[in-house]
């Protein structure tokens, strides 16, 4: 579903944010991307989503090269940054219909899905209000709904649990699992290592721009915990 091959990103001035990263996310997988602040996680996610250029390597999503076929890649992808930019002047329902229009979602499907996810995230009663009046958690829920109604082949999330209450986090995890059971994939970064350990089929750990460990969660963790593995790798020089 997602193939990152020898991806590198160098910023002006010569700083290499990501160095020769290769990762493969298969259909049906929830793949966790772990690392300290500044390790290169967000840079990688933004490159996969096609919103940041990169200097070396290739990234393909469901067979679409993000550089050669950016529109094709974006049509099968939903990307939520850690602080989604939403149009504050819009009402919540207008924003969801705007996203549905962009992705050519049929009227009957969008109506059904907006009602489904709006009720699940307890946001239906607020969809008639301007987004500018929403709390951070409400904006996060609206952004999640806008992603789920697209039924993406690949869902990319940067710190998706930030701002969500425990109930919304639980609901989101259930919908992520549903998405993957339908053959899609999820690639996300998080600092909540306990959640990543329970939720992810595969995990990759990046440090100072380089991949230091990856594999199936059970094998990577072994008899330890993801937190222990992460801290041990962080302590290596």
For residue range 112-137, list pLDDT tens digits in order.
999 999 999 999 999 999 999 999 99
Residue 68 in any domain: the answer is yes
Burial per residue of 165-192, b for 16 or more beta-carbon CB atoms within 10 angstroms, e otherwise: eeebeebbbebbeebbeeebbbbbbbeb
Nearest CA to 31 out of 176, 231, 182 is that of 176
- 136-148 helix and 92-102 helix, angle to the nearest 10 degrees: 30
| Within-domain flag for 92 | no
Q: E strands, the chain, where?
A: 2-10, 16-25, 30-34, 56-61, 64-65, 77-80, 154-158, 185-189, 202-207, 210-216
Residue 64 inside a domain? The answer is yes
Helix (H) or strand (E) holding 91: none
Q: How many domains does the chain have?
A: 1
On whether residue 201 sits in a domain, the answer given is yes
> In the prediction, which pLDDT does 12 show?
86
Query: Does residue 102 fall inside a structural domain?
Result: no
Are the beta carbons of 8 and 178 closer than 8 angstroms? no
> Chain-centre distance of CA 20, in angstroms?
21
Q: Give, as one character, the DSSP assignment of residue 89.
A: T
- Residue 65: inside a domain: yes
The distance from CA 11 to its chain's CA centroid, rounded to whole angstroms, is 23
23 assigned to some structural domain: yes
Q: Tell me the per-residue pLDDT of 168-203, one tens digit each, with 9 for 90 and over.
A: 999 999 999 999 999 999 999 998 899 899 999 999
Domain enclosing residue 190, as ranges: 1-76+155-164+186-237
pLDDT in tens, 35-75: 998 899 999 999 999 999 988 999 999 999 999 999 999 99
Q: What pTM did the predictor assign?
A: 0.94
Does residue 118 belong to any structural domain of this protein?
no
CATH code for the domain in which residue 18 is found: 3.40.50.300
């Amino acid at each position: 579903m997602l193939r990152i091959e020898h991806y590198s990103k160098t910023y002006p001035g010569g700083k290499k944010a990501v160095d020769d990263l290769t990762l493969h996310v298969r259909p049906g997988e929830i793949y966790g991307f772990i690392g300290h602040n500044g390790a290169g996680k967000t840079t990688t996610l933004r490159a996969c989503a096609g919103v940041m250029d990169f200097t070396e390597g290739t990234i393909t999503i469901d067979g679409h090269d993000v550089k050669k076929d950016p529109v094709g890649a974006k049509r099968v992808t939903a990307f939520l940054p850690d602080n989604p930019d939403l149009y504050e002047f819009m009402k919540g329902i207008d924003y969801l219909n705007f996203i549905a229009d962009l992705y050519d979602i049929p009227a009957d499907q969008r109506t059904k899905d907006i009602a489904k996810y709006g009720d699940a995230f307890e946001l239906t009663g607020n969809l008639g209000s301007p987004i500018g009046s929403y709390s951070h958690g409400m904006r996060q829920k609206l952004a999640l709904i806008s992603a789920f109604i697209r039924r993406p082949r690949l869902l990319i999330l940067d710190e998706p649990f930030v701002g969500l209450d425990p109930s919304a986090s639980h609901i989101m995890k259930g919908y992520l699992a549903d998405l993957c059971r339908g053959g899609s994939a999820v690639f996300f970064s998080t600092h909540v290592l306990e959640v990543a350990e329970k939720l992810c089929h595969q995990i990759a750990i990046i440090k100072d721009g380089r991949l230091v460990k990856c594999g199936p969660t059970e094998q990577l963790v072994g008899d330890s915990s993801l937190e222990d593995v992460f801290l041990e790798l962080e302590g290596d020089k």
